[in-house]
Amino acid sequence: MADVVVVGGGVGGMAAAIRLGAAGHHVTLLERNPELGGKLASRTIDGFTFDTGPSLLTLPHVFDELLGHAGTSLAAAADLQRLDPICRYSWPAGAPGGATSFDHRAGRTEAVAEVDAAMPGQGERFDAFLEHARTIWEVAERSFFAGPLESPLSLLRRMQRPGDLLAIDPLRSLSARAGQVFDDPRLVQWAGRYATYSGSSPSLAPATLACIPWIEQAFGAWYLRGGLAVLAGALGKALSELGVDVRTGVDVAAIRSDAIAVKGVRLADGEALDADVVVANVDATHLYADLLPDRAMLRKALRAPLSSSGFALLLGVRDREGARVPAHHEISFSPDGPGEFSQLFRARTVPTDPTVYICNTSATDPSAAPAGSASWFVLVNVPPAGDVDWDAESDRYRDRLLETMAARGFDVAGRTEVCEVVTPLDIAAHTRSWQGSIYGTSSNGRRAAFLRPGNRGPRRGLYLAGGSSHPGGGLPLVAMSGRIVADMVAADGWRP
């Protein structure tokens, strides 16, 4: 039986540990925070509960299948709610094309009708965009997401037909694809927003990311009653039931190895644990800068530009008669989409008039806030911490964001019970992600997927599972990285 140590209790680490535990290995999972989940976390302040990381669950069957290894299911472990609308989108006055809004409805026919009502003539194009996206997903699922990405060849080997490579649309950018389909700039901006699901820019990320709206349409946008962090609890319970030794509040200081193979880990208090297999769920940069210092690997891990980070407000808001109430997921777009991304990825500064995401959990879940009030998690994309002096900027940017929200119809002045700020520095401190970047390296550029650290480390027995390695960030993707690593451990001959 191989002794396995998983370093990090994020979703990717837990996914790997569940599979390796279910396969019969002796697994120990070490997490430095007092609780499991990593970025998947929540905070309750004065009766207001906020998901501080993920607020939208997609591809729930990925978690269903994962929890199946522990003899349970997502539906048994959590109170699942499919959201309709998936998201409400609005454009302020001054946006090219003018002010409007539409609800991206859960049903495709209804979604198309809503788009057509808001932007006459665009419904059919919206439908065509989704149809093309379906093909991308079908091919990507059985190729890109099906295994490790050791080289472009490994991807080609998993493709069934020569046309599959072009089917995933990797050569043009997401905004180029959107510009070809839509003649309304607002829908080009809408499509481009999916680049931000990997912390990227629509003009640089490949059109492959167009599969995301289809995923949301086909498999649903989901909420878990009590907040998404309920998922971390469900995965933690599965670990216990499988007999995985979970130790929280344990900081791993080093991965022990010789020149060829891993030997185990050393904890910050000096304790040494032996292992044949180590799965690093930590950010690849923390792995190669600190745990297994390796300059060449660190340089490699940072070959692609970092993904964006986030600046968030946790707002406890008293209801006010006549005030605009955000949908569960609401996006208020910047009037200047290209300018926003240019500030983020070229000037590397905070956007002056940003796209604002509001997650109003209270729209679905009254338990998220005291009666007569609501919990709003407000998020804007910002560059990673190294580019901005957040100690100086944080309060100023909070005030500017509140003004932006007020100008877009979400005025909370005089009715906030809670107003907490989360900066990229907080994200970095909580999860040790490099400069608070949310998704490791970005998808900017045609080669970005190949520049992202692979799932195999530079020593025998060392594997990487998590958002900074293949296939990238986002809850279902990091769960897939856990699956890919567990498959590699088996294929490499580590027997339970």
Ligand X SMILES: Cc1cc2nc3c(=O)[nH]c(=O)nc-3n(C[C@H](O)[C@H](O)[C@H](O)COP(=O)(O)OP(=O)(O)OC[C@H]3O[C@@H](n4cnc5c(N)ncnc54)[C@H](O)[C@@H]3O)c2cc1C
CB of 4 to ligand X, least distance (A): 15
CB of 327 to ligand X, least distance (A): 15
CB of 156 to ligand X, least distance (A): 27
How many CA atoms lie less than 13 Å away from 406 in the CB half-sphere? 12
Identity of the residue, 10 or 445, whose beta carbon is nearer to ligand X in the bound complex:
10
Identity of the residue, 281 or 361, whose beta carbon is nearer to ligand X in the bound complex:
281
Identity of the residue, 12 or 457, whose beta carbon is nearer to ligand X in the bound complex:
12
DSSP 3-state assignment of 215? Answer: helix
CB of 305 to ligand X, least distance (A): 17
Number of DSSP helices (H) and strands (E) in the chain, helices first: 18, 19
Of 268, 267, 287, 281, the closest CA to residue 459 belongs to 287
Q: What is the CA radius of gyration of the chain?
A: 22
Of 347, 376, 78, the closest CA to residue 234 belongs to 78
CB of 320 to ligand X, least distance (A): 27
Q: Which residue shows structure tokens 């509040």?
A: 249
Q: Which residue shows structure tokens 């609800």?
A: 103
In total, the chain counts a number of residues equal to 496
Token couple for 100: 């409007």
Identity of the residue, 156 or 253, whose beta carbon is nearer to ligand X in the bound complex:
253
Report yes or no: 195 and 210 within 8 Å, Cβ to Cβ: no
Identity of the residue, 344 or 478, whose beta carbon is nearer to ligand X in the bound complex:
478
CB of 26 to ligand X, least distance (A): 19
Q: Looking at beta carbons, which residue is closest to ligand X?
A: 10
CB of 96 to ligand X, least distance (A): 27
CB of 493 to ligand X, least distance (A): 25
Long-range contacts of 321-325 (CB under 8 A, 24+ apart): 323/411, 323/415, 324/409, 324/410, 325/360, 325/363, 325/374
- The residues that bridge with 313 in the sheet, in sequence order, are 378, 421
Q: How much of the chain is in helix, strand and coil states, percent to nearest 5?
A: 40, 20, 40
How many CA atoms lie less than 13 Å away from 472 in the CB half-sphere? 23
Of 276, 324, 389, the closest CA to residue 25 belongs to 276
CB of 159 to ligand X, least distance (A): 26
Identity of the residue, 112 or 448, whose beta carbon is nearer to ligand X in the bound complex:
448
Token couple for 3: 């002794």
Identity of the residue, 307 or 373, whose beta carbon is nearer to ligand X in the bound complex:
307
Identity of the residue, 168 or 438, whose beta carbon is nearer to ligand X in the bound complex:
438
- The residues that bridge with 89 in the sheet, in sequence order, are 102, 331
Q: Return d(Cα 301, Cα 308) in angstroms, integer.
A: 16
Cβ-proximal residues to 288 (8 Å cutoff; 6+ apart), any chain: 294, 295, 297, 298, 301
Alpha carbon 275 to its chain centroid, in Å, reads: 30
Identity of the residue, 27 or 379, whose beta carbon is nearer to ligand X in the bound complex:
379
- Binding positions for ligand X, rule: CB under 6 A: 7-13, 30-33, 38-40, 53-56, 251-252, 281-282, 286, 310, 312, 379, 427, 431-433, 438-439, 466-467, 473-475, 478
CB of 490 to ligand X, least distance (A): 20
Identity of the residue, 11 or 95, whose beta carbon is nearer to ligand X in the bound complex:
11
Rounded to a whole number of angstroms, the distance between the first and last alpha carbons of the chain is: 4
CB of 64 to ligand X, least distance (A): 15
Q: Which helix (H) or strand (E) holds 85?
A: none
Identity of the residue, 76 or 253, whose beta carbon is nearer to ligand X in the bound complex:
253
Tally Cβ neighbours within 10 Å of residue 248. 14
